[in-house]
Chains A and B, each alone.
Chain A
Amino acid sequence: MPPFKPVLLEAVGVPDGHTLASYRSRGGYAPVERLLTEKQPADVVEMVKASGLRGRGGAGFSTGLKWTFLPKDHPGPIYLCINADESEPGTFNNRILMEDDPHQVLEGIILSAFATRASTAYIYLRYEYPRSWHRLQAAIDEAYAAGLLGKNIKGSGFSLDVYLHRGAAAYICGEETGLIESLEGKRAWPRIKPPFPAIEGLFRKPTVVNNIETMACVAQIARRGVDWFKSIGVPADPNNPRDPGSYGPKLYCLSGHVERPGCYEAALGITARQLIDEYGGGVWKGRKAKAVIPGGISMGLMTEAELDTPLDFAGPGKVGCLGLGTAAVVVIDETTSIVDFLHNSCRFFAHESCGQCTPCREGTSWSLRMLERIKAGKGRLKDLDLLAEIGATMGMMPGSTICGLADGAAWPIKNAIKKFRGEFEDHIKRTNPHGWMVTDPVPALQIVGAHH
């Protein structure tokens, strides 16, 4: 299939492509100047709703619809938070957008703030992106100087301040209410919902949290039109009124055991196999894939046989993965131990669990310690059942946790044990020949008095 002509990535490789002048030369900021002076906020909301744009941060919720949850006649202030905390393992597309085309992101922010009547936008930027920090700040400075930010933008009567707010290396700050708590200066423990951020968010005011790539899409929709956006991707199933479709271009991050890791723009709906073979140069070293993460580690695993699954919002779910997530595809080759993979995943989530609610705090820690025991050659077959049970019961979906980190922690466990159970069993039996069959409960006398 012919390569997709980059739109979101159009500035990549362009000398000084990150500057205001360069952005304008591509048609940038013309939409801001037009829409802010000629249209109403509601018009921009309608435009984004009509485009079918779904959030690119991982949840895939309809962006325009989310904006309509804001209270209608609120006296303000209303806040727009931009989630630049990108920390999902395998994901790096926001980084490239911020470094190489910060003005595209900024234009999207201005339009989104106008639509939601936000007076202040905070970009919550992860600590580990210093280059993005410098590029974004420079772009913000250029925008203020050009009258595209600040008071009464281009005489429209709309005023907006944009501030960078730096994180400190905690994955949970990518959860929208974790981000809000962190911005407010507290530990990033996600909030219980209701109330939802649209009603009571940052500083207890109506708030919308949107992703960086979503902002870039808003800018492109404003420039190239709703019809253009809807001409790309997978249309909604006409027989299913609940299917919002998967419209627009998507940035796919490809990494792991491929010849050419990188960020590739394609229409939503490309399959994993197409991405790996046609964009990524195929699995590295002439090997075959054993497993592929479809959208960041939280989404779980696809087997080699499942690689023809379209990577749109609906596809991965059909093969038992959590969803499209951040569309970060990570390839695991046939020589890699799936036990090692699951250990890596459990280690990540145990480190990042915020610790607030019991099932996630203890479940992520327990599953890590079981994987460590299995790696150390002391695993038992019954551990696999325990892990599967943790995977099935921990998360927002069963209702047992406050936020979706637990679901993200559970899915790799669920998928790995279900789809690769044979490999786990072989490993356990091989490395613990004398103990793999133990099924007894832990004797009480062994734990009473077992103090340090």
Chain B
Amino acid sequence: MPTVIVDGKEIEIGADERLNCIEAARRAGKEIPHYCWHPGLSVVASCRMCLIETGQRDAATGKVTMMPKLVPGCQTPVKDGTVIVTESQLVKDSRARVEEALLIDHPIDCPICDKAGECLLQDYHFQHGQAERRADLHPFTSRRRDVGPTVTLFVDRCIMCTRCVRFTREVSGTAELMVTSRGAKEEIDVFPGHPLDNKLSGNVVDLCPVGALGDKDFLYQQRVWFMKREANVCGGCSAGCSIHTEHNQDTVYRLKPRENPHVNKWWICDDGRYGWHHIHDASRLVGAGRAAATGRRGTPAFDDVEWHDVAQRLRADLAQAGRLAVAVSPMLTVEEAWMLCAVARSIDPEAFLAVGHVPREGDDETFPGGFTIRAEKCPNRLGVEAVVALFDPAVPGWDRLVEHVRAGRAGAAWVTGGYTSAWIDDDTAAAFGDLRCLVVQDLFDSPLARLATWRLPAAGFAERAGTWVNVGHRAQCFEQAVRPPAGVWPEGRLYWNMLGRRGLYDPSAVRRQIAESSAAFAALSGDVPANGIDLRIGQLA
């Protein structure tokens, strides 16, 4: 195994691994500062912040020969015997000079800049910069430039790392961003009439090491040091990109991609990135409602029911209504889906369990850098199908359920949704109009909800913890970030309660139970890594 020596410490790397000095030093716990390098983009070695001393240790004699000058860590591959020095005076002076150079014309906007608190220029200044300013040059300009519908640019904060330009050329393939002019007058800009407007635009904000590029969605909304974040998964499509939900006091402020080499690498699409507003939409269904005795057709009116009474009254209504049909939404977690099926079968041992409506839009779209946005706009179809399969190997889908209800084979139906936009039309909803008891559990009002006997609120993606299985059969377990609207019992809590379990809803307990009782989910029995686990591991073909 090749050995690399980082500041005197030996680390082993894999025989087939191709690492640069930054990656190798990280393994030894040393973070080499850098701006322009990014593992998902081409190497340009232009910021010069990662300059380090390197050398080679002779395998036979052990003698170390150092290179006579500094080299960029990002463009220097390591091999057996590579010696890396990250803390010599030469290296420290070089970093201090790069910081000084970048700060010469950088407007001191920190008090009004979104990036404060997560800004590499700030961080490296404190860690590696000079205490005193030597360049007697001012005033500064700080211009804001509109580059597109979702991204804003503060031109003079830019440090010319060119990550954003390379992203639009290499990953999104849309080439909207450009560098203009030459030398110290260079600026980032777009061609007039061709704004930065592709489905991956927001990633350039993540890439920007400073506060030059910003999300219009997040601009001036919150200081980063007030936010907490949880590891979540985007619920926008079956790609299941790993994300962080960043929030404060139960308000979501933004989503950021979480690095996952098996799923989204470093990126998310704009639909996912900005697709959290439904969580705070004022028109969300909150509160459990039972249709008033009068007015099931025509204007729906609902009486509020105390959550503590819901489980018992709901079970009673369903038990009397006849055969039960259940739509298990592909927006639910594996744990919620399983509990719903168990609840349904406990009310009606022959309940018809089907996978709920699967929203689809357009075709899968793959970008030159390899990132794919899926046409299937739900995060857990595969997971829900595998759960339903445990109860009914036929795994009926939504269309079959609608047909089943239309044909009069059910007296009651429980339709779970959690869809973030309109998903059912009047005609299809009308099929449920004659049921004795209709339960609709969804985020927003709909033609179906207006016909419901029981109208229950659903959880948003950030308000639940559990497991989703993406298009690649990768199960990812995520944490809850924010609490649901005041008093709401989302699906997980309600089903847990209806199963008669004590205490707070514990998704990991349900997960373990599912893993131990089924082959399909066996991989979930232990600790699931942060990047998820392929459910097909260990399965016989």
- Flag whether A352 is at the interface (Cβ < 8 A): yes
Knowing A170-B182, A364-B183, A366-B104 touch, does A355 contact B160 (C-beta < 8 A)?
yes
B residues within 8 A CB of A352?
A: 182-183
- Flag whether B291 is at the interface (Cβ < 8 A): no
Closest Cβ of chain A to B45, distance in Å, is 5
Do A365 and B183 touch across chains, with their CB atoms under 8 A apart?
yes
Do A399 and B139 touch across chains, with their CB atoms under 8 A apart?
no
What CA separation (Å) do A201 and B254 show in the bound complex?
A: 44
Knowing A361-B183, A441-B132 touch, does A369 contact B137 (C-beta < 8 A)?
yes
A residues within 8 A CB of B105?
A: 362, 365
Do A451 and B139 touch across chains, with their CB atoms under 8 A apart?
yes
- Flag whether A145 is at the interface (Cβ < 8 A): no
Segment at the A interface, from B95-103, B319-327, B427-435? B95-103
Knowing A365-B184, A399-B69 touch, does A359 contact B98 (C-beta < 8 A)?
yes
> What string of 1s and 0s marks CB contacts (under 8 Å) between A426-451 and chain B?
00000000000000011010111111
**Residues of A within 8 A of B (CB-CB), count:** 40
What CA separation (Å) do A341 and B107 show in the bound complex?
A: 31
Do B140 and A399 touch across chains, with their CB atoms under 8 A apart?
no
- Flag whether A300 is at the interface (Cβ < 8 A): no
- Flag whether A393 is at the interface (Cβ < 8 A): yes
- Flag whether A351 is at the interface (Cβ < 8 A): yes
- Flag whether B390 is at the interface (Cβ < 8 A): no
What CA separation (Å) do A351 and B69 show in the bound complex?
A: 27
Residues of chain B from 214 to 263 with CB closer than 8 A to chain A in the complex: none
Residues of chain A from 383 to 432 with CB closer than 8 A to chain B in the complex: 386, 393, 397-402
Do A451 and B183 touch across chains, with their CB atoms under 8 A apart?
no
A residues within 8 A CB of B71?
A: 399
B residues within 8 A CB of A373?
A: 136
| Interface residue from A189, A192, A400, A447 paired with B70 (Cβ < 8 Å) | A400
- Flag whether A344 is at the interface (Cβ < 8 A): no
Closest Cβ of chain A to B369, distance in Å, is 19
Closest Cβ of chain A to B159, distance in Å, is 8
B residues within 8 A CB of A355?
A: 160, 179, 181-186
- Flag whether B48 is at the interface (Cβ < 8 A): yes
**Residues of B within 8 A of A (CB-CB), count:** 43
In the complex, the chain A residue whose C-beta lies closest to that of B67 is A399
What CA separation (Å) do A184 and B155 show in the bound complex?
A: 28
- Flag whether A357 is at the interface (Cβ < 8 A): yes
For A189, A362, A441, the residue with the greatest tally of chain B CB atoms inside 10 Å of its CB is: A362
Do A452 and B101 touch across chains, with their CB atoms under 8 A apart?
no
- Flag whether B88 is at the interface (Cβ < 8 A): no
Number of inter-chain CB pairs below 8 Å: 118
In the complex, the chain A residue whose C-beta lies closest to that of B49 is A358
In the complex, the chain A residue whose C-beta lies closest to that of B45 is A192
> What string of 1s and 0s marks CB contacts (under 8 Å) between A125-153 and chain B?
00000000000000000000000000000
B residues within 8 A CB of A187?
A: 179, 182
In the complex, the chain B residue whose C-beta lies closest to that of A449 is B108
> What string of 1s and 0s marks CB contacts (under 8 Å) between A267-280 and chain B?
00000000000000
Do A362 and B139 touch across chains, with their CB atoms under 8 A apart?
no
A residues within 8 A CB of B160?
A: 355-356, 358, 361
A residues within 8 A CB of B134?
A: 386, 441-442
- Flag whether B502 is at the interface (Cβ < 8 A): no
- Flag whether A354 is at the interface (Cβ < 8 A): yes
Knowing A446-B138, A451-B139, A451-B140 touch, does A400 contact B48 (C-beta < 8 A)?
yes
A residues within 8 A CB of B70?
A: 398-400
> What string of 1s and 0s marks CB contacts (under 8 Å) between B35-53 and chain A?
0000000011111110100
- Flag whether A338 is at the interface (Cβ < 8 A): no
| Interface residue from A358, A362, A448, A452 paired with B108 (Cβ < 8 Å) | A448
Residues of chain A from 235 to 268 with CB closer than 8 A to chain B in the complex: none
| Interface residue from B51, B75, B102, B186 paired with A400 (Cβ < 8 Å) | B51
What CA separation (Å) do A370 and B69 show in the bound complex?
A: 28
- Flag whether A294 is at the interface (Cβ < 8 A): no
What CA separation (Å) do A170 and B182 show in the bound complex?
A: 10
- Flag whether A297 is at the interface (Cβ < 8 A): no
- Flag whether B135 is at the interface (Cβ < 8 A): yes
Do B46 and A358 touch across chains, with their CB atoms under 8 A apart?
yes
What CA separation (Å) do A444 and B111 show in the bound complex?
A: 14
What CA separation (Å) do A446 and B133 show in the bound complex?
A: 11
Knowing A444-B133, A452-B141 touch, does A400 contact B94 (C-beta < 8 A)?
yes
What CA separation (Å) do A362 and B102 show in the bound complex?
A: 7
In the complex, the chain B residue whose C-beta lies closest to that of A441 is B132
Residues of chain B from 169 to 193 with CB closer than 8 A to chain A in the complex: 179, 181-186
What CA separation (Å) do A366 and B98 show in the bound complex?
A: 13
Do A350 and B48 touch across chains, with their CB atoms under 8 A apart?
no
> What string of 1s and 0s marks CB contacts (under 8 Å) between A65-95 and chain B?
0000000000000000000000000000000
Residues of chain A from 184 to 218 with CB closer than 8 A to chain B in the complex: 187, 189, 192
What CA separation (Å) do A400 and B91 show in the bound complex?
A: 11
Closest Cβ of chain A to B182, distance in Å, is 5
Do A451 and B102 touch across chains, with their CB atoms under 8 A apart?
no
Knowing A192-B44, A399-B70 touch, does A452 contact B184 (C-beta < 8 A)?
no
A residues within 8 A CB of B159?
A: 358
> What string of 1s and 0s marks CB contacts (under 8 Å) between A343-354 and chain B?
000000011111
Closest Cβ of chain A to B121, distance in Å, is 12
B residues within 8 A CB of A442?
A: 132-136
A residues within 8 A CB of B184?
A: 350, 353, 355, 361-362, 364-365
B residues within 8 A CB of A451?
A: 107, 139-142
In the complex, the chain A residue whose C-beta lies closest to that of B111 is A448
Do A357 and B47 touch across chains, with their CB atoms under 8 A apart?
yes
- Flag whether A17 is at the interface (Cβ < 8 A): no
In the complex, the chain A residue whose C-beta lies closest to that of B159 is A358
A residues within 8 A CB of B133?
A: 441-442, 444, 447
Do A358 and B102 touch across chains, with their CB atoms under 8 A apart?
yes
Closest Cβ of chain A to B477, distance in Å, is 41
In the complex, the chain A residue whose C-beta lies closest to that of B94 is A400
A residues within 8 A CB of B102?
A: 358, 362
A residues within 8 A CB of B107?
A: 451
What CA separation (Å) do A386 and B101 show in the bound complex?
A: 12
What CA separation (Å) do A447 and B142 show in the bound complex?
A: 13
| Interface residue from B46, B93, B135, B179 paired with A402 (Cβ < 8 Å) | B46
B residues within 8 A CB of A400?
A: 48, 51, 70, 94, 97
| Interface residue from B47, B69, B75, B137 paired with A358 (Cβ < 8 Å) | B47
Do B139 and A402 touch across chains, with their CB atoms under 8 A apart?
no
What CA separation (Å) do A451 and B110 show in the bound complex?
A: 13
Do A354 and B183 touch across chains, with their CB atoms under 8 A apart?
yes
What CA separation (Å) do A354 and B135 show in the bound complex?
A: 22
Do A450 and B140 touch across chains, with their CB atoms under 8 A apart?
yes
Do A401 and B183 touch across chains, with their CB atoms under 8 A apart?
no
| Interface residue from B45, B135, B138, B185 paired with A450 (Cβ < 8 Å) | B138
- Flag whether A363 is at the interface (Cβ < 8 A): yes
A residues within 8 A CB of B94?
A: 393, 400
In the complex, the chain B residue whose C-beta lies closest to that of A378 is B136
Of the A-B pairs whose beta carbons lie under 8 Å apart in the complex, a sample of 7, sorted by A's number, is A352-B183, A358-B47, A359-B97, A362-B184, A447-B108, A449-B108, A451-B107
User: Would you list the 9 A-B pairs with minimal beta carbon distance, nearest first?
Assistant: A399-B69, A441-B132, A362-B101, A365-B184, A399-B70, A353-B183, A355-B183, A450-B139, A450-B138
Q: With A192-B45, A441-B133 given, can you name 7 additional A-B contacts, CB distance below 8 Å?
A: A350-B183, A355-B179, A356-B44, A358-B48, A365-B183, A402-B45, A451-B142
